[in-house]
């Protein structure tokens, strides 16, 4: 299936409303999820509904929760997510950080008591579209990242995102990356599509690579040993750097905000306890440092120069972070969002269980991959 973006949006909203979420919160959540799917990040969009249903049914997820500010001053704030889905509180927190940056030059907002919020880059783009630099970090509920030299997982994927504004209001640079070689949900996408994974994503308890996606899912979600490799892989290839980035994110998004360290939380939390995911949002107004027109001119020169790097292969020009997502967004806006039959079945089953209408629609005339 190549589903229309609008049908994916309506499907997500329909299910969230059937679960009892308020319409405005459901719309904010659906927007984040659809934009993620349009950019080709299939691991963080429609396919997340299965996990959200599990959290809801387990009593951990409070879909009616509204985020509230616990404390704030001119430059900082702490927001309580109320154990709701992370998309509404993350959107609110990034907007609040932007407002503080526009008023004082810099804004830092932490979030505690949240759940999964999708792709970090979505929120960094919110800042960039308003003319400021946006940085986002988050902890994770699932413990699946193996430290450098380790044999068992201790951390989440702990992603980082940074977006820089362009002069025309669209983000010129968007870095969105996990501190692991890949996000855990990428393994899920390969499993849903029945495809083998690239070597180096997942390791077993003895450090050997795992390429079978179903086996990879077992190491991530069912076994005590093995898991995702840190960004860089082994120590010899720089894995200690990815491991260090993961700990950095845990400190800023978790320890600083009061979010949980999931490895310890999962040992002691009673059944149904919220995940207490922590997020961190930073916004910086370039005008606090130099005239904005000079910043934009230099940023444009930097990025244009990088794009002109002689390519190793003529058919694969040098890109900057954010280019692949922009190109995929344009392609999927025109040609639809790919939905494998296995995912469509999951969505149908969710609809049947909650009483929502099945709304995914194939895009008429959409080109199919060869």
Phi then psi for residue 111, to 5 deg, are -130, 135
pLDDT confidence bin for 181, thresholds 50/70/90: very high
pLDDT at 43 over 90: no
C-alpha 82/C-alpha 70 separation (Å) is 11
pLDDT at 368 over 60: no
pLDDT at 253 over 50: yes
pLDDT digits (tens, 9 = 90+) for 158-173: 999 999 999 887 899 9
- The tokens of 136 are what? 């986002």
Q: Note the pLDDT of residue 367.
A: 54
pLDDT confidence bin for 355, thresholds 50/70/90: very high
Helix, strand, coil share of the chain (percent; to 5): 45, 15, 40
Q: What is the DSSP code (8-state) at residue 165?
A: E
The average pLDDT across 179-196 equals: 88
The average pLDDT across 43-52 equals: 94
pLDDT digits (tens, 9 = 90+) for 65-116: 999 999 999 999 999 999 999 999 999 999 999 999 999 999 999 999 999 9
112-121, 164-173, 261-270, 298-307: least confidently modelled range: 164-173
Q: Are 323 and 175 in contact (CB under 8 A)?
A: no
Q: Are 211 and 199 in contact (CB under 8 A)?
A: yes
C-alpha 127/C-alpha 252 separation (Å) is 19
pLDDT at 142 over 80: yes
> In the chain, where are the structural domains located?
1-57+326-370, 65-181+231-307, 186-228
C-alpha 215/C-alpha 54 separation (Å) is 21
User: What percentage of the chain reaches a pLDDT higher than 90?
Assistant: 92
The average pLDDT across 37-56 equals: 95
Q: Note the pLDDT of residue 370.
A: 44
The residues, ordered by sequence, that sit 6+ positions from 316 with a Cβ below 8 Å of its Cβ are: none
C-alpha 134/C-alpha 124 separation (Å) is 5
C-alpha distances (whole Å) from 60 to each of 50, 65, 115, 309, 348 are 14, 12, 9, 49, 23
Conformation bin of residue 301: beta by default, left when phi > 0, alpha when psi is -120 to 50: alpha
C-alpha 350/C-alpha 73 separation (Å) is 43
pLDDT at 369 over 60: no
Q: Are 126 and 91 in contact (CB under 8 A)?
A: yes
The average pLDDT across 141-170 equals: 93
The residues, ordered by sequence, that sit 6+ positions from 279 with a Cβ below 8 Å of its Cβ are: 86, 89, 90, 93, 110, 111, 114, 117, 136, 137, 138, 139, 253, 257, 259
Range 1-57+326-370 classified under CATH 1.10.1530.10: yes
pTM: 0.94
Range 65-181+231-307 classified under CATH 3.30.1370.60: yes
C-alpha 241/C-alpha 249 separation (Å) is 12
Q: Note the pLDDT of residue 167.
A: 80
């Amino acid at each position: 299936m190549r589903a229309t973006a609008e049908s994916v949006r309506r499907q997500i909203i329909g299910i969230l409303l059937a679960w009892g979420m308020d319409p405005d919160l459901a719309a904010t959540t659906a927007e984040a999820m659809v934009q993620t799917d349009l950019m080709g990040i299939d691991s963080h969009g429609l396919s997340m509904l299965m996990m959200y249903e599990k959290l809801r049914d387990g009593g951990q997820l409070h879909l009616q929760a509204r985020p509230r500010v616990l404390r704030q001053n001119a430059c900082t704030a702490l927001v309580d997510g109320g154990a709701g889905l992370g998309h509404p509180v993350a959107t609110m927190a990034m907007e609040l950080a932007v407002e503080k940056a526009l008023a004082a030059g810099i804004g830092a907002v932490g979030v505690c008591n949240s759940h999964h919020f999708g792709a970090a880059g979505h929120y960094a783009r919110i800042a960039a579209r308003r003319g400021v630099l946006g940085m986002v970090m988050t902890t994770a509920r699932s413990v699946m990242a193996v430290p450098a030299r380790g044999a068992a997982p201790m951390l989440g994927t702990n992603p980082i995102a940074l977006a820089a504004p362009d002069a025309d209001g669209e983000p010129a640079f968007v870095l969105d990356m996990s501190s692991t070689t890949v996000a855990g949900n990428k393994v899920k996408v390969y499993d849903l599509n029945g495809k083998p994974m690239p070597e180096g994503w997942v390791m077993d308890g003895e450090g050997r690579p795992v390429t079978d996606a179903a086996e990879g899912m077992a190491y991530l979600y069912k076994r005590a040993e093995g898991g995702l490799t840190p960004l860089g892989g082994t120590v010899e290839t720089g894995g200690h750097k990815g491991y260090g980035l993961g700990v950095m994110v845990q400190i800023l998004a978790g320890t600083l905000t009061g979010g949980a360290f999931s490895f310890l939380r999962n040992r002691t939390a009673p059944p149904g306890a919220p995940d207490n995911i922590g997020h961190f949002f930073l916004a910086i107004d370039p005008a606090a440092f130099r005239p904005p027109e000079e910043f934009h001119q230099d940023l444009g020169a930097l990025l244009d120069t990088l794009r002109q790097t002689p390519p190793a292969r003529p058919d694969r020009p040098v890109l900057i972070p954010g280019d692949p997502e922009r190109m995929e967004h344009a392609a999927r806006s025109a040609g639809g969002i790919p939905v494998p039959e296995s995912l469509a079945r999951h969505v149908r089953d969710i609809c049947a269980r909650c009483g929502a209408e099945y709304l995914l629609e194939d895009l008429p005339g959409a080109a199919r991959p060869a």
